[in-house]
Every structure is written in C-alpha cells, then in structure tokens.
Structure 1
Amino acid sequence: MRKKTAIFLFAALFAAHISSSCKKATVAVRSVNDTSFVKGADISWLPQMEATGYKFYNRNGVEEDCFKILKDHGINAIRLRTWVNPSDDKISGHCSAPETVAMAVRARQNGMKVMLDFHYSDSWADPGQQRKPLAWANLDFAGLKKALYDYTFDVMTQMKNAGIMPAWVQVGNEIPGGMLLPEGSTGNWPQLAQLLNAGYEAIKAVSPASKVVLHVDQGNNNQRFRLWFDNAVKNNVKFDVIGMSYYPWWLQGKPDYTLSIDDLGNNLNDMASRYGKEVMVVEVGGEDVQEQNTYDMLVAVINKVKAVQGNKGLGVMYWEPEGAKSWSRYSLSAWGDDGRPTKAMDAFSTKTN
C-alpha cells in the first residue's frame, strides 16, 4: 500500500512538474492579439512621391492617403531616415530634418509609433557606403564626435518640439563595417565606440525613454552578428535594441527565404540571450512581382520574431513598401503598378503564431 501511495504521489508530482514546465514554456511566446508587437514600414520616400503626383489606391481601387492604406493593413509604426544636408534628388535626396519631423507628425496623427534612423550622411549609408556629411569632412576626430552629438541632439529636439518622442532611434544605418569612415571604422573599435556612445547620449539627453538601436545587415548571419556585437560590448558601447536587416533577395544567388529563415530565427534568439537585449527586424523586403512568396516570407519573419524567448522580439518593419517600382525603380516594394498594395502587405494583418 505504501509503495502504491508513493508511486501515485510521484506520478502526481511529476505531472504537476510537467504542467508547470509547459506553462512556463508558453509564457514567452507572444499572443496573436498582442498589439504591442511592431508591424512597421519605412516610408521615407512618401513626401517625394506625393510631391511628384503619385496617387495611392486602396485594395478597392479608391484613392486614399498612404498612411490610411498602411494602417488598414495592420501597420502601427513608421520608420523614417534622416540625412544631414541632403540634395533635392528624387530618389537619393530629401529626408532633411524638417521633412522627417513633418512625416513623424503625420505618423502620430495616425496613431503610429515612430522610429528615427540617423544615417549620419548626406545620402544613403549602408554596408557599401558610409560617407561623412560634406560639412563634417575636414573635422578632426574630436570635432567629428561633437558634430555627431550636436546634430543628433538638434534633430531629437526638433522632434520633441513637434510633440514627437520616437519610440526607437537608430545610431547609424547598416553599419557592419562602421560609420563616418574612415574614423568610425570597425578597424578602430575604440573610436567607433565613442561615436556610437555620443549618439546614444544625445538621444537620451532629449528623450530618455527612446530605445537606441544598433543596426547590422544580414540578419541570418549569426557569425557576423556575434563578431560585431562582441566587439561592441567589449568596447562598452551603449544600446538597447539589436536591429537586423533581412533580405533573402540580396544574398548571394538570391536564394529563396526558406533556405535562411531558420538561421534568422536562431540568430534572433542568440542575440537576445547572448546580450540580454531586445531584437527587431528593422528592414525586410521581397520581390514585388512575387507577391505570394513575399507574403509567405513576411509571415515567417513575423512568426520568428514573435517566438523570441522572453518576449524580446519587438517587431518587423518593411523597407519602403509604398515605393512602387513604377516610381522608384526599386524591385522590393509591396506596391503594384496599379497604385495598390500587393498581397504581400496582407501579412501584417494576418493572424500569426
């Protein structure tokens, strides 16, 4: 009798342990109805598109404001790049601080959060080009660091004066090799760390609640991220969020997303656990003419970010979904030649895991 009682007691305790473990395991997974999850879009081209007469239409073919169309597709956050002294070029210009602030105000009016993306250049900054603004070209390192701080502080102050406190702010855009080259190269991490921290401090001086994002491309490449962020931590760089780009189309050979999506998921979890930081896919995109494939890819990416342990996966942002190829010549928008969003945009309003 005692033996049976002991067996039953053990079984009950074991079942209770299993039940408790299962509950703990599911706590870290975001609910499908979690409205805090970011479903965003970088739409920095929008003012130029509107200025050149481009018309946006909803799925029923009715002309509407682009913000409303995006909101109706589940978009709840807007990412905006800002350049120091940009040109008036349609594709590679604009995005001045005043234009960016005006866009942020429109985002707020539509109930959307804002991510501010400092490129620290007069035009595109990415892995292939990190050119200093022309006005900063002849500064020594101390002057460069001061210029970065002052400019960051000024733009953040313009945002604050307009009633905007960005939820997230990027210090640099896709900076695997550094920024403000050559001084801010990863070949000189102590100097790069000073520049990154100057940006962090300027942001927090104006808006302590804004989360500072550091952004590296190839989100499926764990080795790339470990090397970069190990060096960042070693050099005492301050940051709150690890931002990733994920573009299967830009990988060598343009492989289908199914060949790298698990690598993205593994990297997201590794970054969150290794550094104790929140993670976000701040840029993603797929080919506009492959609507179903891009839709499937976006759903998969959203699921991977939602599944990051400890609710550290903040969200996903599409890069220039509204930037239709007929206007931009860009192949990875989510807009058709008819001025309407493609099926790919439905991924943001589809219930996911």
Structure 2
Amino acid sequence: MRTNQYVLSLKWAIVLSIFHFSLAKAQTVFSKGADVGWLPQMEATGYKFYDQDGKETDCLQLLKDRGMNSIRLRVWVNPNDDKASGHCSKEETIIMALRAKKMGMRVMINFHYSDSWADPAKQFKPKAWEKHSFPELLDDVYNHTFDVISSLKKAGVTPEWVQVGNEIPGGMLWPDGSTDNWKQLGQLLNKGYDAVKAVDQNIKVIVHVDEGNNNAKFRTFFDNATAQKVRYDIIGLSYYPYWIKKDYSETIADLEFNLNDMVKRYNKDVMIVEVGGEDDKVQNTYELLKATIEAVKKVPNNRGLGVMYWEPQGARSWSHYALSAWQADGKPSPALDAFKE
C-alpha cells in the first residue's frame, strides 16, 4: 500500500514538474509582432494584401507567415472617422483583438488617453475630459481603462500586455499629467495600473518611452517614476533611428546598453514596443530588425520579451508613412523576413 502511494506521489510530482516547466516555457516565448491599428481602415477603403505569388491573403496571415505571434492595438477615447488619424475606438479594438486571437496571436493594448495621436510632441486630453478637475481625471483614467479591458475580457480576449500611455517621456494628459508635475503623473499612471489589475492580475502593465537608445532620457524618467512609486511590470521602448537622423549601426550598441541597464537598475523586463525602418531601404531595414531582435534576445535571463514593428502593413500609398514594411504591389517587404529567424 505504501509503495503504491509512493509511486502515485512520484507520478504526480513528475506531472506537476512538467506542467510548471511548460508554463514557464510559455511565459518566456519571445514576442515578435506588429501594431496594426490602420488595418481595418485599410481594408474598408479597399486596400488588398497579397502573398509572394500574388494571391490575395489576409494581412494577419501574411504577418504570421513571417514569424509574428503578437498584435498591438491602440485605443483612443472618442475618435473621429478620419481614415488615418481616427477610428481605434473600444468597439473596433475588440473586433480586431478577437480576430488576432482567432489567428492564435497574443494581444497588446495601447492606451493613448486622447481622441487621436499621443506622443512626445502632444498629449492632448480627450475632449470629454478637458474641463475635468485632477481628481476627475484620475477617475477618467481608471474608468476608461477598466471599461476597455473588462469589455475585451467579456468578449473573450484577455490581453497579455497593456500600455498605460503612449510614448510619455513628457508625461500625458497635459498639463495635469506633465513631467513638470511628477506627483500627479505618478497618480495617473497608478490609476491605469490599478484598473488593469482589477480586471486580471496576470496582465502585464507597460510604461512606454521613446528613443530606446537614449539611456539618459530613460534614467531620468524611470528614476522619477521610482520616486513616485509608480507601479508597472515592463519598460516599453521605441527605437527609430530614422527620427534621430542616424543609421541603426550608430545607435544599436546604445540600445543594447539601455536595455540591460533598465533591467539592472529597475528590475523590470524590457520590450521594444515600436520599431521601424524606411520602406525603400529594404536591406537596411532588414538588418535593423535583425540587430534589434538580437539585442533584445541577448538581455540575460529572458528579460527581453520581444519586438513589435509599428504598422508594417501601413503601405505608403495608403498612409503616406515612410516607415512601413510593405511594397507598392501590396506584398510584404522582404525586410520582415528578419522576424522569421
């Protein structure tokens, strides 16, 4: 009897160890993905996507065929209907998230806390929040975040990651949440964090700053965040050599240093949540992506989580954006083959 109990216990121990190993492995799968916020509008306006043989193909399938396993979606509060600077409402985001999930892809949600683009140059409040007091703004951030994430979960998609703010080296919801008032910015970020965790504790919260190669900018921001006891799980970085008028070869070592420094200094995982290269410099963009992916993968202990291309499918003919990775014939750029490796 004792022997049987021992064998049974041993079997259960083996089963549990295999389960925990599988779970740990799943959690360390490197994320390779794309922000595709423009995709529904591209399709609605008649843009067609093609594979290398010229066969019309679902864009997400084309991205998946290139090794991508994750999709990033932005959310605006009350957006307009402009094809390039509108849409991305809660309802549209849910539809896209479900579509990505059906493809077996992981989902990241990116809150801009604005009615249109929020980035280092502009962090405008949503129109509906413009006259609100700071205590009301805290409630706005919590309620909006909770509403979107809980609605996604009810629809059947629990995001793996959520960004509280988009490229916020100067803060968000200006002027109240500017870095000129870190005490208030810290409270706003924590409200977003708390709303996400109220829906699901397992969702990882990202705080996102641009210029991933600029270590001084990141130390300034995250030292202040630490002083204000800002709660988050992952440091998100943008990396665009194009916007600082340098080749990736001049800045990739700085990116690598910064990735490692962020992990050591703040004990946080890191992730490139936006990257892009020029669509007419295919080989250079391929090399940029390959080097960026390698830099993130080299972060010790699997603390470099992944790399996301910003709007690779956003062909210049449709978006007038020079940093997509799509060809004029509607086919993916060979630069995206960097994600296959």
Aligned with 2:258 (options 242, 267, 282): 267
After superposition, residues 329-344 of structure 1 pair within 5 angstroms as: 329-344=320-335
Aligned residue in 1 for 2:298:
307
- 1:136 is aligned to 129
TM-score by length of 2: 0.92
* Distance in 2 (alpha carbons) for counterparts of 1:213 and 1:125: 16
Query: Alpha carbon RMSD of aligned pairs, Å?
Result: 1.2
- Structure 2: 5+ residue runs without aligned partners? 1-24
Amino acid of the residue matched to residue 270 of structure 1?
Answer: D
- Which letter maps to 1:339? G
- Residue 193 (structure 1) aligned to one of 186, 189, 195: 186
CA contact (8 A) 2:28 2:305 kept: no
Pick the aligned partner of 2:72 from 67, 71, 79: 79
- Report deviation, 1:270: 0.2
CA drift of 1:61 comes to 1.4
Residues 152-301 of structure 1: pairs in structure 2 closer than 5 A: 152-251=145-244, 254-301=245-292
Aligned partner of 1:118 in structure 2 is 111
2:307 is equivalent to residue 316 of structure 1: yes
Distance apart, 1:59 and its partner CA: 1.7
The DSSP-based 3-state class of the residue aligned with 2:81 is coil
**Once the two structures are superposed, what CA deviation does each residue of 1:98-132 show, in whole Å capped at 9, x if it has no partner?**
00010000000000000000000000000000000
Aligned to 1:346: 337
> 2-side partners of 1:309 and 1:289: how far apart?
34
Indicate the percent of aligned positions where both proteins have the same amino acid.
62
Given that residues 263 and 303 in structure 2 are in contact (C-alpha distance below 8 angstroms), is that contact kept between their aligned partners in structure 1?
A: yes
Q: CA deviation at 1:311?
A: 1.2
Residues 1:46 and 2:39 are matched in the alignment: yes
In 2, the alpha carbon distance for the partners of 1:336 and 1:325 equals: 8
Query: Matched residues in 1 for 2:123 and 2:54: separation?
Result: 40
Distance (whole Å) between structure 1 residues aligned to residue 51 and residue 269 of structure 2: 34
**Alignment-mate amino acid for residue 36 of structure 1:** V
1:63 aligns with 2:51: no
Q: State the shift of 1:35 in Å.
A: 7.6
Aligned letter for 2:221? W
The answer as to whether partners of 2:252 and 2:291 remain within 8 angstroms in 1 is yes
CA distance in 2 between counterparts of 1:220 and 1:232 reads 19
Q: Is the 8 A contact 2:28 2:302 kept in 1?
A: no
Amino acid aligned to 1:315: G
Which residue identity lines up with residue 69 of structure 2 in the other structure?
N
